[in-house]
Amino acid sequence: MLRYIELFFMFAFVTVITMLLQALLAKWKPIIFHSFWLRVFTFIIIGYALMAPTLYIGSLFLK
């Protein structure tokens, strides 16, 4: 049960951090996010970049 709670919070935090990073990137270079698909692509890339270390750290906590 603890594993599912921890996974929920990990995914929630990664999603929020990804959205915040996209907002900062949009303020820095607003022309980047005129394309919907470029927004989706950067969301996926940032999400994957954050998810791998998050899953590793989460697995260390659950040992």
For the segment 23-57, what is each residue's pLDDT rounded down to a tens digit? Answer: 888 888 777 778 888 888 888 888 788 877 877 87
The H-or-E segment that residue 36 falls in is: helix 36-61
Question: How far out from the chain centre does Cα 6 lie?
Answer: 15
CA gap 4, 59 in Å, rounded: 12
For the segment 1-18, what is each residue's pLDDT rounded down to a tens digit? Answer: 677 777 788 788 888 888
Phi, psi of 35 (to 5 degrees): -95, 130
What pLDDT is recorded for position 14? 81
Kindly tell me if the per-residue pLDDT of 59 is higher than 80: no
What pLDDT is recorded for position 24? 85
